[in-house]
């Protein structure tokens, strides 16, 4: 509604410019947001016309105004500010249609069809089966889940896929350590979550290997060369390599152990996913996909896309994109990481003929994806142009990088539990137990919302710093703040109902306060935010918009009474406005992993 009005003005001013200049072809008019509401609701900078019209932009603005006053213009008040032609729209007049629209659409308000009919495959998470999830995974998962919801809200059909990294020498390490030190212990027997249990053995392997190194150097220092050699030959690292070979050969006891431990980890990770509201439509396992790429590469070799180097390895020349060469098959014919990804992408397109495939993967793999996409394009796949690497930055701690060796890795389960405790004590401290139906459930919701909001409010591509102690406060620009606004509005609406007041769009001109106009504007602009978030693959667009709405509303209901407004008519209309704000918040919450609570 508002957008339509703005566009009407734009067209009208463009016409006026043509008439004034007597030129048919003028550059398109730019549209901007005035910095302050006193300066209007939409701004049209006229600088760029001063050359072709050979007039000062201020003069152009005056001429346009004069022309429009004489020849008519859309609804609104013209405000000239230097070279800016601004318009103050009669916002309150847009309230009625906005109200009807939001009420009719309900939970669908904000959805659009900008990606209508598009099939999009979205890959994210991709955990290893040798350790539990940490903070870095959480950013990945939050972004993945949020982007999925955002794309769907824009009309796309989304298939969320996960690729479980369950093979390789690193997986064998935890297996080996378990076989060496585990005895008969199981997650059941120790009461540990499976992923933490396995992760413990992965850490154990590292210390074991380190001790082994120490033993070797001790033997060398004491001149016992024979012992040193013996130790080297049975080094844990070598044994892990050997185990990988056995795994690939299908040695039964290794496969059994692998199955057992993978299940432990995946059960544990699955529990974390459930706890964090993460889900997938399809799961791929690297133990299967790692075989895919070879035949594709050989086909490419036949077609002359790749070449065989002197030593027998298959390579591609990346000179065209300013890079070196890249090996795709080792000289012994085995595949490497990128070979698998080539095969997997092709296989996926067969499984689900996507229009677009988005990989949510850390920025450190930007090079890998650049090469991967180039290769797929070279192989002649048209859809290679629609592959995207949604690159996100690292999550660092105030002290610097998370380092497993120094034990500074923030565990996902621990962090969530910690936040839940914080939320719970907050509820109890404030004496809100009676207000909420289920304290634990509410605490969980608040914790999760806090975490998701914190991770999503930062533009994905940027590195971010996460202070587990300080950063997750429940005050200020946070998930709980948004939840609180939702709860407050919900509470007001309930109170109104009890008082026999029903929301009604009685007379929009009753909404004459600045804050009210601002709210109408923000609600009207919400669908644009949904569209922009999808276009930019950026959930923070939604987060920012919802924060603006919440902050404006919060300030508004402190300054103005809603239920006890001067007249019943004003009260009803303000209730109508409040209910739109709530609907808008609820719809946006779903896109960024914040839960709506009626009370908290």
Site for RNA in 307-346 (CB under 7 A): 309, 311, 313, 322, 324, 326-327, 330-332, 336-337, 340
As given in the structure block, the two tokens for residue 262 are: 């993978």
**How far out from the chain centre does Cα 107 lie?**
21
Does residue 81 interact with RNA by CB under 7 A?
A: yes
What minimum distance in Å lies between the beta carbon of 118 and RNA?
23
| Cβ atoms 138, 276 nearer than 8 A | yes
What minimum distance in Å lies between the beta carbon of 221 and RNA?
28
Does residue 364 interact with RNA by CB under 7 A?
A: yes
Binding mask 176-205 for RNA (x = CB under 7 A): ------------------------------
Does residue 544 interact with RNA by CB under 7 A?
A: yes
Within residues 15-74, the interface with RNA by CB under 7 A covers 30-35, 39, 43, 45, 47-48, 50-51
The Cα–Cα gap between 122 and 282 comes to: 10
What minimum distance in Å lies between the beta carbon of 33 and RNA?
7
Nearer to RNA, 186 or 391 (CB): 391
Stretch that binds RNA, among 11-19, 271-279, 352-360, 463-471 (CB under 7 A): 463-471
| Cβ atoms 122, 147 nearer than 8 A | yes
Does residue 501 interact with RNA by CB under 7 A?
A: no
| Cβ atoms 450, 562 nearer than 8 A | no
The Cα–Cα gap between 213 and 547 comes to: 54
Does residue 446 interact with RNA by CB under 7 A?
A: yes
| Cβ atoms 576, 523 nearer than 8 A | no
Binding mask 478-497 for RNA (x = CB under 7 A): x-xx--x--xx-xxx--x--
Does residue 374 interact with RNA by CB under 7 A?
A: no
| Cβ atoms 198, 174 nearer than 8 A | yes
What minimum distance in Å lies between the beta carbon of 224 and RNA?
30
Half-sphere exposure of 428 (CA within 13 A, CB side): 9
What minimum distance in Å lies between the beta carbon of 308 and RNA?
10
Stretch that binds RNA, among 77-85, 222-230, 246-254, 586-594 (CB under 7 A): 77-85
C-alpha gyration radius of the chain: 30
- Residue positions counted in the chain: 600
Q: Are strands 157-164 and 119-123 parallel, antiparallel or unpaired?
A: parallel
What minimum distance in Å lies between the beta carbon of 111 and RNA?
23
Residue 348 has a CB neighbour count (10 Å cut-off) of 22
Does residue 409 interact with RNA by CB under 7 A?
A: no
Does residue 403 interact with RNA by CB under 7 A?
A: no
| Cβ atoms 600, 440 nearer than 8 A | no
What minimum distance in Å lies between the beta carbon of 236 and RNA?
16
The phi, psi pair for 517, rounded to 5°, reads: -65, -40
Within residues 265-304, the interface with RNA by CB under 7 A covers 286
The Cα–Cα gap between 339 and 289 comes to: 10
Nearer to RNA, 248 or 385 (CB): 248
Within residues 139-178, the interface with RNA by CB under 7 A covers 165, 168-169
Binding mask 86-105 for RNA (x = CB under 7 A): x-------------------
Q: Which residue among 366, 433, 514, 569 contacts RNA (CB under 7 A)?
A: 366
| Alpha-carbon distances, residue 10 vs 42, 43, 59, 527 (angstroms) | 10, 10, 18, 20
3-state SS string over 481-513?
A: HHHHHHHHHHHHHHHHHHCCCCCCCCCHHHCCC
How many chain residues bind RNA (CB under 7 A)? 95
């Amino acid at each position: 509604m508002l957008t339509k009005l703005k566009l009407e003005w734009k067209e009208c001013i463009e016409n006026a410019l043509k008439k004034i200049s007597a030129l048919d072809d003028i550059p398109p008019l730019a549209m901007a947001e005035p910095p302050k509401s006193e300066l209007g609701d939409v701004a049209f900078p006229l600088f760029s016309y001063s050359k072709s019209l050979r007039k000062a932009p201020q003069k152009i603005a005056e001429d346009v105004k004069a022309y429009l006053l004489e020849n008519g213009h859309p609804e609104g008040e013209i405000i000239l500010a230097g070279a800016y032609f601004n318009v103050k729209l009669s916002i309150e007049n847009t309230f009625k249609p906005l109200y009807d629209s939001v009420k009719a659409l309900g939970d669908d308000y904000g959805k659009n069809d900008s990606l209508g009919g598009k099939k999009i495959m979205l890959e994210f998470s991709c955990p290893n089966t040798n350790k539990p999830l940490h903070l870095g995974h959480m950013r990945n998962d939050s972004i993945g889940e949020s982007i999925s919801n955002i794309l769907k809200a824009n009309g796309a059909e989304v298939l969320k896929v996960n690729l479980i990294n369950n093979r390789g020498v690193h997986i064998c390490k935890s297996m080996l350590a378990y076989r060496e030190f585990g005895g008969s212990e199981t997650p059941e027997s120790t009461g540990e979550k499976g992923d933490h249990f396995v992760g413990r053995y992965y850490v154990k392997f590292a210390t074991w290997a380190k001790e082994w190194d120490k033993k070797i150097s001790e033997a060398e220092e004491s001149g016992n060369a024979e012992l040193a050699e013996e130790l080297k030959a049975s080094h844990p690292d070598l044994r892990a390599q050997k185990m990988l070979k056995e795994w690939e050969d299908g040695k039964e006891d290794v496969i059994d152990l692998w199955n057992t431990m993978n299940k432990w980890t995946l059960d544990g990770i699955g529990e974390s996913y459930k706890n964090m509201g993460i889900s997938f439509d399809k799961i791929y396992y690297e133990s299967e996909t790692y075989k895919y790429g070879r035949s594709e590469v050989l086909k490419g070799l036949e077609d002359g896309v790749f070449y065989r180097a002197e030593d027998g390895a298959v390579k591609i020349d990346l000179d065209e994109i300013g890079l070196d060469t890249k090996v795709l098959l080792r000289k012994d014919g085995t595949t490497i990481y990128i070979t698998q990804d080539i095969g997997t992408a092709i296989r996926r397109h067969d499984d689900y003929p996507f229009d677009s495939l988005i990989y949510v993967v850390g920025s450190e793999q930007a090079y890998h994806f650049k090469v991967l996409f180039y290769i797929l394009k070279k192989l002649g796949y048209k859809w290679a142009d629609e592959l995207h690497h949604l690159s996100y930055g690292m999550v660092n701690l105030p002290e610097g990088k998370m380092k497993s060796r120094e034990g500074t890795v923030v565990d996902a389960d621990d962090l969530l539990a910690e936040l839940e405790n914080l939320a719970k004590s907050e509820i109890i401290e404030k004496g809100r137990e009676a207000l909420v139906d289920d304290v634990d459930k509410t605490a969980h919701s608040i914790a999760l919302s806090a975490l998701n909001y914190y991770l999503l409010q930062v533009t994905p591509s940027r590195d971010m710093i996460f202070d587990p102690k300080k950063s997750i406060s429940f005050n200020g620009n946070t998930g709980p703040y948004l939840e609180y606004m939702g709860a407050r509005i919900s509470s007001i609406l309930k109170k109104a109902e009890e008082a026999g007041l029903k929301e009604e769009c009685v007379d929009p001109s009753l909404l004459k306060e600045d804050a009210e106009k601002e709210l109408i504007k923000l609600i009207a602009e919400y669908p644009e935010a949904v569209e922009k978030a999808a276009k930019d693959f950026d959930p923070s667009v939604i987060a920012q918009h919802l924060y603006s709405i919440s902050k404006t509303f919060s300030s508004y209901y402190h300054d103005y009474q809603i239920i006890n407004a001067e007249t019943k008519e004003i009260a009803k209309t303000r209730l109508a406005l409040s209910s739109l704000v709530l609907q808008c918040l609820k719809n946006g919450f779903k896109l960024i992993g914040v839960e709506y609570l009626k009370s908290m």
